[in-house]
Structures are given as structure tokens and as C-alpha cells.
């Protein structure tokens, strides 16, 4: 470092304001009112340290270095007269970033309606209102208003669940994985559970039937082969140690070709002959016949009970369209046993879940309005013409902000139900497709575009396929479309 540079540095460092002075600088008091003195002090100190570091680095290298990651604004060779204003701006940006929720609303334009990574089902307003009440008021969560005695939180909704499914009894836990774990723990400890090899599925991440079985202390008795399992395979596996026959809905994959599986009615007859219960993990169990809206056939919970299943487990936030939960329905004495298991206490749902679940279930009493009022079903049944019209409104706005680097076109595409309906079943949709005109290096340019869309105030998540970034507009309903269009101007590439 030259002597001139050292002197210059010393002079510059001397002009960096002291913390105390910063606290009375213009613009700081409003920050204190919002964030409190403690946080503002920390922010100012951090900004001052960063500024000193920046000056030192500049003097050492004869060049300016990048400001600390994510800092608001850091022009090179800052004017000492603007140090104060810079610190206020920098501290303000830092405080604002820290105050933002880490869970944020995004636009799900992936085309997968029930997207596990994006939070699955969106809930109707009735559920939102009920959650607000539950959050801000004491409630009869475990209190019998008739007798004044202690109640059971399941009592709030088990009758409604039974009404909608035809089951004798019901209980609710945290999610369907918990429902399966609890069922096996309660009904088959140290005993055998017979499952077809074709149904030993993994459902995203850590949910694998054999692992859950081991955790529950049950012994897995695999029967049949990956593609074919026959009634006699179950018959031959049954022995005095057998506690349960189990069937798992292959939600996320399909075996096609030379296949044979034993349907639930047939399995129920086998179980009955041996005086054993049969449980069916339906995964995305639906409460109504989806084919009436032209959607793919999925087994209903009621149909499964009627076919002879003694227990059925399913998710609350898949096709049902409610909050994350696992529902267990079936024969009273089995549900009683499940509810008495200590794990039930560990896996029970919170009051917010129950508050949200009840109004969603109640919507099923008016099937005429379901496709309009149940958000999940409304999205799944949106006519392609809606998405087409939306895409025609969105396309020119996007093309305008993206300029010549990308082309934006309106195109037909297919959405998926997601979370447990067969991935081969696709729903006709429309969206906008973003491409790089000069095809060279399009992968990189598309990744850059994806990143810029994620950096928007409300991040946009699409999907890359066939050398293009596709934005499926199925989940972009009217109010969202307006917000989407409004924020397009902020896209920075
Ligand atoms: C989704 C699914 C699960 C897990 O349900 P969560 O509610 O996500 O815990 C279990 N079994 C099947 C068959 C599923 O489809």
C-alpha cells in the first residue's frame, strides 16, 4: 500500500460515523419504531463493519470488492459525505430482509396441482375463517359443552367423517404416513403383516412401506412378485403369527402389461375366512367419484369400506383438498385400539388442522357445489378454455418484458393431479412456453430465466421440459393472474 493510499484510507476511515451518531441520523428513528432499538443497533453495527471492511479492501487491492452478500447498494469508491445515508439504507435493507417470512406465497405454475414441495392442497375460504377463529379464541377442543367434562378432540369431526365414508369410526393424525405407522403399531406389534411385493412402494422421500413396517415393530411378510400377486399367495402366507393383511394404493406409479393384483373385495374375503382384519392405505383417498367431473377414476374411501376393508388410511391434503392430516377410518373396535396406543398422543393433530378440516369435509355434503367451492377440485376441473384465455392475456406481457432473448408462446399442455393420482393420467391445459430463439446454450438461458422468475416478489415456479420453460396456468385463477401480470415488470434478467 502506498503512503498516499494509507493516508487516504486513514482519512476515509475517520469519516465513518460512530454508532451513537448513526442512531440519530435521519431515517433511523422510523427504523427503530418498526424494528426496535436492539435490532437497529445490530443492523447499524453490521453495516459499519462492512463499510470499514470495504474501505480496507479497496485500499489493499486498489480495487473495490463486492459488498457483503445481499447488501442493498454498494457503489464503488463511496463518497465519504454519503457514508451516513449509505449505512441507513444498508441497515434498512438488512432489517427488511430479516423481517420477511421464510415461508412465502409462490405461483405454482408447474402444472402439478397437488405439489408436495409447494404445499399440496389450497384451502377454501371456509377453512381459512375457521383457522382464524381457532387461532384467536379459546375453543371446545377437548371439552364437552353438553356435560362440561373433558372431551376428545376426535369427537369434533369423527361423526362427519363416518357420514361421508360409511365407516363405523374414525380418528385423525398428523399425516397419512403417521396414520399407517400408528395403525401398524397398534394392530401388529411383533406380528406379521402380509403385503404384495407389487405394493411395497416408496412415496417420495422417506416413506417406504417396509421401513414404516419395521418402525412399527411389525414383520413384513411379502407375497407374490413385483408384477403379479394371486389370492393363493396371501392364503399361503397366513399363519398363527399373522395380524393383518394390508393393501397399498400404488399412487405414484403404474405397473402395466402382464400384471395381476388382488382387489380389496377379494382380499377382504380371504381376511374374513381367517378372521383377520384387512387395512388399505389409499394414499390420496377421495371422498367422491371423480369421474363425474371427467377426472381419472380413483378409489373412494366409501367404496373401499363397502368392498370390505376393515381400515382405510388416507391423506387430508391430497385429493380431499384439506389441511395436512392422516385419516384412519374403519371398524369401531380397531379404531378404539388405535386410539388407545401411546403413539396416537404423539401423532395427534393440532387444533388448526381440525379447524380447517371440518369445513372442508362439510363441503362434501353438497356435491352440487363441490367443483366450485372445493379449491382443489375447482383447479382440477378448470376448463382448458379458461387457461387458454389466461395464457393469451399473460403472453404479451411476458413477451414485452423478456424482449428478444426469449420467445413466449401460448400452447396446449398437460397438467397432473399430483400427490397420488396416477402420473399417467393427464389433464388438458394451456400455458405459456418460454424458449431461447438461438438454441445454442438454451439450457443455461432457461436456468437463468427460471432463477429470475423465482426472484420475483412472489416467486414463480414453472417447469423445464423439451428445451423450454413451461408455465401451466391451471393454478393461476383470476386474482392471482392480476398479481402475476402486475409483477412481471419487476423481472430482472
Ligand atoms: C401420499 C401417500 C402416503 C403418505 O401420506 P402423507 O399424508 O404424505 O404422509 C402414504 N401412502 C400412500 C399410498 C400415499 O399415496
Ligand 1: which of 205, 420, 422, 423 to mutate, judged by most atoms within 8 Å of the beta carbon?
420
CATH, range 107-115+379-488:
3.90.1150.110
Minimum-distance ligand 1 atom for the alpha carbon of 317: 7
Ligand 1: which of 281, 283, 326, 328 to mutate, judged by most atoms within 8 Å of the beta carbon?
283
Summarised one tens digit per residue, pLDDT across range 98-156 is 999 999 999 999 999 999 999 999 999 999 999 999 999 999 999 999 999 999 999 99
Residue nearest to atom 3 of ligand 1 (CA): 283
Tell me, in angstroms, the distance from the centre of ligand 1 to residue 286's CA.
Answer: 13
Q: Is the pTM of this model over 0.85?
A: yes
Cα–Cα distance for residue pair 326/184, rounded to 1 Å: 14
Domain locations along the chain: 3-99, 107-115+379-488, 125-373
User: CB–CB of 95/43 below 8 Å?
Assistant: yes
Residues with CB under 6 A from ligand 1: 175-177, 203, 207, 248-249, 251, 281, 283-284, 315, 326, 420
Ligand 1: which of 203, 250, 301, 422 to mutate, judged by most atoms within 8 Å of the beta carbon?
203
Q: What is the reported pLDDT for 261?
A: 85
Q: What is the reported pLDDT for 63?
A: 52
Minimum-distance ligand 1 atom for the alpha carbon of 250: 13
Minimum-distance ligand 1 atom for the alpha carbon of 201: 13
Question: For strand 468-472 and strand 463-465, is the pairing parallel, antiparallel, or unpaired?
Answer: antiparallel
Q: What is the reported pLDDT for 228?
A: 87
Query: Could you tell me which residues come within 8 angstroms of residue 188 by beta carbon, excluding any fewer than 6 positions away?
Result: 216, 217, 218, 219, 243, 244
Q: What is the reported pLDDT for 456?
A: 97
Q: What is the reported pLDDT for 421?
A: 59
Q: Which three cell numbers mark 337?
A: 385400539
**Residue ranges of the chain whose pLDDT lies below 50:** 64-75
Can you name the CATH fold of 125-373?
3.40.640
Cα–Cα distance for residue pair 260/281, rounded to 1 Å: 19
Cα–Cα distance for residue pair 45/19, rounded to 1 Å: 7
| 455 conformational bin, left if phi > 0, alpha if psi -120 to 50, beta if neither | alpha
DSSP assignment, residue 174? S
Summarised one tens digit per residue, pLDDT across range 194-219 is 999 999 877 766 788 899 999 999 99
| 418 conformational bin, left if phi > 0, alpha if psi -120 to 50, beta if neither | left
Q: What is the reported pLDDT for 252?
A: 59
Amino acid at each position: 500500500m502506498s503512503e498516499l493510499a494509507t493516508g487516504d484510507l486513514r482519512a476515509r476511515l475517520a469519516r465513518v460515523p460512530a454508532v451513537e451518531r448513526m442512531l440519530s441520523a435521519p431515517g433511523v428513528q422510523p427504523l427503530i419504531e418498526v424494528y426496535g432499538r436492539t435490532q437497529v443497533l445490530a443492523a447499524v453495527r453490521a453495516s459499519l463493519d462492512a463499510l470499514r471492511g470495504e474501505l480496507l479492501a479497496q485500499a489493499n487491492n486498489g480495487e473495490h470488492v463486492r459488498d457483503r452478500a445481499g447488501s442493498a447498494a454498494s457503489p464503488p469508491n463511496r463518497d465519504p459525505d454519503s457514508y451516513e445515508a449509505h449505512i441507513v439504507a444498508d441497515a434498512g435493507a438488512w432489517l427488511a430482509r430479516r423481517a420477511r417470512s421464510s415461508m412465502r406465497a409462490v405461483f405454482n405454475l408447474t402444472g402439478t396441482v397437488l405439489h408436495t414441495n409447494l404445499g399440496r392442497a389450497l384451502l377454501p375460504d371456509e377453512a381459512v375463517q375457521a383457522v382464524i377463529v381457532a387461532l384467536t379464541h379459546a375453543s371446545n377442543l377437548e371439552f364437552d359443552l353438553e356435560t362440561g367434562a373433558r372431551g376428545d378432540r376426535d369427537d369434533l369431526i369423527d361423526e362427519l367423517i363416518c357420514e361421508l365414508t360409511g365407516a363405523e369410526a374414525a380418528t385423525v393424525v398428523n399425516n397419512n404416513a403417521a396414520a399407517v405407522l400408528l395403525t401398524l403399531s397398534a394392530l401388529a406389534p411383533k406380528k406379521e403383516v402380509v403385503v404384495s411385493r407389487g405394493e411395497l412402494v416408496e412415496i417420495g422421500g422417506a416413506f417406504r412401506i417396509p421401513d414404516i413396517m419395521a418402525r412399527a415393530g411389525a414383520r413384513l411378510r411379502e407375497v407374490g412378485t413385483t408384477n403379479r400377486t394371486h389370492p393363493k399367495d396371501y392364503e399361503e402366507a397366513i399363519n398363527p403369527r399373522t395380524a393383518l393383511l394390508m393393501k397399498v394404493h400404488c399412487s405414484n406409479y403404474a405397473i402395466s402389461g402382464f400384471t395381476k393384483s388382488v382387489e380389496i373385495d377379494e382380499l377382504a374375503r380371504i381376511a374374513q375366512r381367517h378372521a383377520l382384519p384387512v387395512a388399505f392405505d389409499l394414499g390420496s383417498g377421495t371422498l367422491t367419484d371423480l369421474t363425474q367431473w371427467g377426472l381419472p377414476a380413483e378409489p373412494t374411501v366409501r367404496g373401499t369400506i363397502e368392498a370390505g376393508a376393515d381400515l382405510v388410511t388416507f391423506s387430508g391434503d391430497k385429493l380431499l383438498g384439506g389441511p395436512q392430516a392422516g385419516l384412519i377410518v374403519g371398524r369401531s373396535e380397531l379404531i378404539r385400539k388405535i386410539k388407545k396406543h401411546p403413539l396416537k398422543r404423539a401423532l395427534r393433530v393440532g387444533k388448526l388442522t381440525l379447524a380447517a378440516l371440518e369445513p372442508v369435509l362439510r363441503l362434501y355434503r353438497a356435491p352440487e357445489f363441490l367443483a366450485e367451492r372445493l379449491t382443489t377440485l375447482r383447479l382440477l376441473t378448470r376448463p382448458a378454455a379458461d387457461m387458454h384465455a389466461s395464457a393469451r392475456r399473460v403472453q404479451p406481457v411476458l413477451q414485452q418484458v423478456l424482449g428478444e432473448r426469449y420467445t413466449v408462446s401460448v400452447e396446449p399442455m398437460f397438467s397432473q393431479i399430483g400427490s397420488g393420482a396416477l402420473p399417467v393420467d393427464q389433464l388438458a391445459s394451456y400455458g405459456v412456453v418460454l424458449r431461447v430463439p438461438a438454441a445454442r446454450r438454451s439450457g443455461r438461458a432457461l436456468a437463468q430465466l427460471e432463477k429470475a422468475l423465482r426472484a420475483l416478489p412472489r416467486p414463480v415456479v414453472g417447469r423445464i421440459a423439451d428445451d423450454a420453460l413451461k408455465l401451466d396456468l391451471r393454478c393461476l385463477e383470476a386474482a392471482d393472474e392480476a398479481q402475476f401480470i402486475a409483477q412481471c415488470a419487476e423481472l430482472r434478467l
